[in-house]
Structure 1
Amino acid sequence: MRVDEKERAAPTAWLRVPEPAELPEEVRALFARFEEKTGFVPNVARNFALLPEHFLRWFRYYDHLMRSEGHLSRKEREMIAVVVSAINRCEYCLASHSAYLRELTGDPVLPDVLIANFRRAPLTPKERALLEFAYRMTVASEKMDSADIQALRAQGLSDEAIFEAAQVAAMFNFTNRLANALGWVPNEAYYHLHRVPKEG
């Protein structure tokens, strides 16, 4: 039995997970793209598809926010995802976005350091400022003031980049809470992906 078939047979959420046959064609086509690219359908997609239109609207926003050219680098966005998910202790997003960050950087250690204590990671001043901002936004957004913005501007970040960083942090506070509250289980494959450093 393939890994994806085993996972399909095991519970991936505390709510009902719809069968592919009952989903709209647009969702099934997206699942086929996932499977073609990675060899499996992410459980977040299978779980979120309980409300197909919600899933499609969320995925379009998520995909654009995390994978477009944007004002932040892909690495910066994935680091924010990992740090916010570590603060919220979200197993699903930590498994998946640690794997994406390992893939982007070729560094199998960086995500683990970010999870344990991002302040000890080897970061640029700009990266450190972004992660401090994401931390503040996650644990004490009601205490934030214009000084939090000025700290990012001091590192050369435009207002557009700051707005993008805030959206990434907000996205993962949203998905972390869904995953934690509804018992979303990460695909086992995420734990094994990109563990060997890239050569050269």
Structure 2
Amino acid sequence: MAHIDLPTNSPGIRGLFEFRPETAAPLGQLAEVLLRGDNTLERGERELIAAYVSSLNDCHFCMSSHSAFAALQLPDGWEVVDGVLHDPASAPVSDKLRGLLAIAGEVQRSGRAVTPETIAAAREVGATDVEIHDAVLIAAAFCMFNRYVDGLGTFAPPDRADYVPMAEQVVAHGYVRPR
């Protein structure tokens, strides 16, 4: 049960967005730009970074939802997602994505934990300044989103299958809902 009286039974951030639509709008726009906007990283790759950071933060709702969003947009779907969540060092992803996940993991610990060596390693495998920027911002944003969702004690469905309908909707229509 959430720590505040929410108007609906919508899980996770969805219930919070329904509670405060005026804060939902800019947060939804941020997610839309970061995870779906024009980028050299695929949408599924960016969702995977969000899921990975959420797993490090032990945020079940965000990890589960963004894992589903990633799985529906990656060619090898759940195999890739499960690999990254289990061990990004051996997951079936590109070296560039592995480098960006390493940066995101450092951001999750602390912004000051990001080292010049990790940045250099990501550049060596092809990460651009924009991709590094976006990996850092996705990781930082998901630290905030995770704390928002868990800090207010929102409901998170327990099963992976519970997130697939939400994932289908986000993949088809995005994060910004018409008013």
Structure 2 length normalisation: TM-score?
0.79
Matched, 1:70 2:39: yes
Where do 5+ consecutive residues of structure 1 fail to align? 1-10, 20-40, 195-200
Residue 108 (structure 2) aligns with? 138
Aligned-pair RMSD on alpha carbons?
Answer: 2.4
- Measure how far apart 1:57 and its partner are: 1.1
Aligned residues of 1:79 and 1:101 also touching (Cα < 8 A): yes
Letter in 2 for 1:110: V
Asked if 1:172 corresponds to 2:161, the answer is no
- How far did 1:104 drift? 0.8
| Aligned counterparts of 1:18 and 1:74: Cα–Cα separation in 2 | 31
- Give, in whole Å, the separation in 1 of the partners of 2:12 and 2:107: 27
Q: Give me the identity figure in percent.
A: 28
Aligned to 1:26: none
Bigger Cα displacement from structure 2, 113-122 vs 86-95: 113-122
**Matched-pair contact (CA < 8 Å) for 2:99–2:118:** no
1:16 paired to 2:34 = no
> What SS does the corresponding residue of 2:88 show, helix, strand or coil?
helix
Instruction: Give the residue type in structure 1 aligned to 2:5.
Output: R
1:116 aligns with 2:105: no
Per mean C-alpha deviation after superposition, the further-off stretch among 46-55 and 81-90 is 46-55
Shift of 1:50: 2.2
Question: 1:61 Cα shift?
Answer: 1.2
Q: Can you list the C-alpha shifts for 1:49-86, whole angstroms capped at 9, x where unaligned? A: 32221111111111121111223221221111111111
Q: What number of residue pairs does the alignment pair up? A: 163
- Rounded Cα–Cα distance in structure 2 between residues aligned with 1:141 and 1:64: 21
Instruction: Give the superposition deviation at 1:190.
Output: 5.1
Residue deviations 1:130-181 (CA, integer Å, cap 9, x gap)? 1111111112432333333222221222212211111111111111111121
Instruction: Say if 1:82 and 1:97, in contact at 8 Å, map to a contact too.
Output: yes
Match of 1:90 in 2: 59
66, 69, 77: which one pairs with 1:100?
Answer: 69
Greater Cα radius of gyration, structure 1 or 2: 1
Mapped partners of 1:104, 1:76: distance in 2: 8
- The normalised TM-score by structure 1 is 0.72
Letter paired with 2:85: I
Map residues 47-66 of structure 1 onto 2, 5 A cutoff.
Answer: 47-66=16-35
Query: Distance between the aligned counterparts of 1:69 and 1:43, measured in 2?
Result: 27
- In the TM superposition, residue 128 of structure 1 has moved relative to its aligned partner by 0.9
Q: Secondary structure at the match of 1:97?
A: helix
Matched, 1:127 2:97: yes
